[in-house]
Amino acid sequence: MNNEKEICDFGLHSGESYRDLPVTFLNWMVETDHLKSHIAKNELQRRSMAVQSANEVSKNS
């Protein structure tokens, strides 16, 4: 799923892209099994993969 186009439509972060939401908010969505927690899970996974990729690049530099 492409979270770049997914926009949060509820609460404090309504109108913001999921890519811009704080990790704490995404974790809350997952922990409470929010209706849209699948989007939060995807975004958390995307961020984790980005960190892993950056770490690999820095190790190989």
pLDDT (tens digit, 0 to 9) for every residue of the chain, 61 residues total? Answer: 566 689 999 999 999 999 999 999 999 999 999 999 999 999 999 999 999 988 888 778 7
- pLDDT of the residue at 60: 80
Q: Are 18 and 8 within 8 A, CB to CB?
A: yes
Considering the entire predicted model, what is its pTM? 0.84
Q: How far is Cα 18 from Cα 43, in angstroms, rounded to an integer?
A: 7
Q: Dihedral of CA 25/19/5/27: which sign?
A: negative
